[in-house]
A and B are shown apart, each in its own frame.
Chain A
Amino acid sequence: MRAVDAMLECLKAEDVDVVFGYPGGANIPTYDALYDSGIRHILVRHEAGGGHAAECYAKATGKVGVAFGTSGPGATNLVTPIMDAMMDSVPVVFVTGQVRTDLLGTDGFQEADVIGITMPAVKHSIMIQDPSELPMAIKEAFHIARSGRPGPVVLDIPTDLSKADIEYEPITAVRLPGYQPKSEGNVKQIRQAAKALAAARRPVIYAGGGVILSNASEELVAFCRSDRFPVTTTLNGLGGFPAPDEQWLGMLGMHGTRTANYAMDEADLICCVGARFDDRITGKLSEFAPRAKFIHIDVDPAEISKNVPAHIPIVGDAKGILEKLKVEYDALEADSARLTDWWQRITGWQAKHPLAYEDSTDEEIKPQRLIEAVYEATGGEAIITTDVGQHQMWAAQYFHYNRPRQWISSGGLGTMGFGLPAAMGAALGRPDQTVVCITGDGSIQMNAQEFATCAQEGIPVKVIISNNGYLGMVRQWQELFWEKRYSSVDMGQYPDFVKLAEAYGCTGVRLTNKGTLVDDLRAAIATPGPVVVDVAVTREENTYPMIVPGEAARDMVG
């Protein structure tokens, strides 16, 4: 059997039912094998679209995503999704074609050193040296991508090797002596954490994307309900704890709620679960949570004490650890009354600083209102994907996520152009769900070519463009920190998104009526097939509240 045929058998064995990709000279053998393999292939219009779609197929389903690209430019176009998957710990296997082995290193046509280019952006990468290695390489790639702290794995296959005949035996086990991720948390440390929580008067549970990756939302909720623990999450953790909820403080960080950031600032104990104290969370590191001791639960030991020294480190999978932590905590029978003062302080902040914006007095649609309208129109149940910028923060603030994998966004890398392919991946992974992409007029143009993919493949994504004619977040920073010198942020009213949608074979709708916005959105979302909704919003609206870059969280503005 040809090595590529064996590879597709291996993909089926890994439960792969859909692949996103783009053919080219060096991976034609792979596409020949795909032709009658039974695996669905989505022909994207740019490899980056395929990469992001594979990521979000993974984010929406919890399975490993797969993206194909050819050598050279095909592979370099995948670099952004690879890095994006690295930053947000998304399990994706990227398979790239490579020039023939006799051309390697000669600057052959469409040759690029993909392994070298992607080295700092991958969890692992494998260049096939012998065709018989391919089945084991696939097994290892999937194992590494999905276990421990998940991440991207790149597999580079020279075209001559992919055509070669091999003896195929299904692979049942991998042998990776240098890779043994730890999953069980240390029992003593868990016990110590429970005691610290029982002793805390001002605790905060700070959860991140690790809770989603570990499928630990139920355990997180159960643990938080053991007492009246206040809970906040990062951008990537949204949906890990259901919102709205009495114990929910909202998202924390740069555009988080004042309540969440103030609670972190005054906490005496912070229990971090699957998050990494990113600079968008901490603000000025030296003034971050100055009174707090830290419990840090993470599957990646290198995250512990990387940015903030941990007092009680627990290395392992969040799901099992939270379950044990609850048992240990319950056994201590701590008195909830000790948290009364803390909750008084928190509810005081909530009353004084709710997330709010000033609605327009005329027909103008505020971008925050648009998000609220999407929430109402979908009954709060749709899967939401976003791009990056102001609309992303408003979507995080004004839509309430009540379950894991409902919120899909590019957190660590902040990749514009992510939202539309993300929605495609999510829609293919979860055909039972309505998938809405909330995007901006800047971001959508970075992967707008995927409208063609949606139309051709009948992927029923609903794309809502919060259109202010600006690169809004950069404009906001220029307004606040650069004396309103709006350098290269005005996008004008180009293109006409309704016409663009129609040209691509999607339905295009322009909504302008504030009074009927919810109903109009509901109708647009109910329209079959891919739909693009263009909504002109207030041009110069700022995302607040905000931690000023480099300043302390307690000094939030707006």
Chain B
Amino acid sequence: MGEPGVKEVLSLQDLQASGSVKTGRKHILSILVENKPGVLTRITSLFARRGFNIDTLSVGPTDDEHISRITITLDGANHPIDQVTKQLHKLINVLKIRDLEPEDAVSRELAMFKIAADTGARAEIMQLCEIFRGKVIDVTKRSVVVEVTGTVDKIEAFERNVRPFGLIEMMRTGEIAISRGRGET
């Protein structure tokens, strides 16, 4: 500071470190990959090796048959997301990764619930179905299977509501998400 012969071109004290920040929120990574054998294994193997925890994972085709989309949700409280995405980018078959901001994307999940439904309870379950815009897709004397689509919150709310009737089993696909607006995800 003002010493003779020393130029203060920049103050080291003002430099801020970047990267490796844990955001503390849920992240949805939308990943485009080449549709080649073993690509999913490369991704899950990478997560396992680096100690990253996957919350949900879903894989499906895109409008281009050579390209698949993998949607992964993970908790930004446990991992620095930039490190996860940078490691993923190193995989040769990974084409594009987008860390979708919750406000910039719409996300949905499909769930199927097999609920114990003796004649007495059935009406009430049907009513819940209506409220949650669920669909009954199988009925037997002692059970119904209900399909519900929506946000994770909605699916979890439906689960809480039907559990008292006797939830025999539940299956969830994991979230998929698409960006809002005209641009590609």
Interface 1/0 per residue, B2-32 and A, CB below 8 Å: 0101111111100111111000000000000
Judge whether B42 is part of the interface by a CB distance below 8 angstroms.
yes
- Asked whether B86 lies within 8 Å of A311 as measured between CB atoms, the reply is no
Judge whether A211 is part of the interface by a CB distance below 8 angstroms.
no
CB distance from A272 to the nearest CB of B (A): 13
Tell which of A177, A301, A311 touches B17, judged by Cβ atoms closer than 8 Å.
Answer: A311
Given A119-B42, A129-B37, are A302 and B15 also a contact pair (CB < 8 Å)?
no
Residue of B nearest to A302 (CB): B86
- Asked whether B6 lies within 8 Å of A338 as measured between CB atoms, the reply is yes
- Asked whether A335 lies within 8 Å of B17 as measured between CB atoms, the reply is no
- Asked whether A305 lies within 8 Å of B12 as measured between CB atoms, the reply is no
Judge whether B90 is part of the interface by a CB distance below 8 angstroms.
yes
Q: Which residues of B contact A311 (CB under 8 A)?
A: 15-18
- Asked whether A200 lies within 8 Å of B6 as measured between CB atoms, the reply is no
* CB proximity to B under 8 Å, residues A319-360: 332-335, 337-338
- Asked whether B7 lies within 8 Å of A198 as measured between CB atoms, the reply is yes
Tell which of B12, B16, B20, B49 touches A200, judged by Cβ atoms closer than 8 Å.
Answer: B12
Residue of A nearest to B80 (CB): A305
Judge whether B59 is part of the interface by a CB distance below 8 angstroms.
no
- Asked whether B11 lies within 8 Å of A199 as measured between CB atoms, the reply is yes
Instruction: Give the segment of B91-99, B126-134, B151-159 that binds chain A.
Output: B91-99
Residue of A nearest to B93 (CB): A178
- Asked whether B41 lies within 8 Å of A119 as measured between CB atoms, the reply is yes
Q: Which residues of A contact B12 (CB under 8 A)?
A: 196, 199-200, 268-269, 293
Given A301-B89, A313-B18, are A332 and B45 also a contact pair (CB < 8 Å)?
no
Tell which of A176, A293, A338 touches B15, judged by Cβ atoms closer than 8 Å.
Answer: A293
* CB proximity to B under 8 Å, residues A20-59: none
Judge whether B83 is part of the interface by a CB distance below 8 angstroms.
yes
Given A269-B12, A311-B15, are A305 and B82 also a contact pair (CB < 8 Å)?
yes
CA distance A294 to B34 in the complex (A): 36
Residue of A nearest to B91 (CB): A178
- Asked whether A306 lies within 8 Å of B20 as measured between CB atoms, the reply is yes
Interface 1/0 per residue, A94-117 and B, CB below 8 Å: 000000000000000000000110
CB distance from A449 to the nearest CB of B (A): 32
- Asked whether A294 lies within 8 Å of B49 as measured between CB atoms, the reply is no
Q: Which residues of B contact A426 (CB under 8 A)?
A: none
- Asked whether A115 lies within 8 Å of B20 as measured between CB atoms, the reply is no
Interface 1/0 per residue, A302-315 and B, CB below 8 Å: 10111001111100
- Asked whether A115 lies within 8 Å of B17 as measured between CB atoms, the reply is no
Residue of A nearest to B19 (CB): A305
CB distance from B11 to the nearest CB of A (A): 7
Judge whether A124 is part of the interface by a CB distance below 8 angstroms.
yes
Interface 1/0 per residue, B37-56 and A, CB below 8 Å: 11001100110010000000
CB distance from A199 to the nearest CB of B (A): 5
CA distance A199 to B11 in the complex (A): 7
Judge whether A127 is part of the interface by a CB distance below 8 angstroms.
yes
Mark B residues whose CB is within 8 Å of A.
3, 5-12, 15-20, 33-34, 37-38, 41-42, 45-46, 49, 80, 82-83, 86-87, 89-95
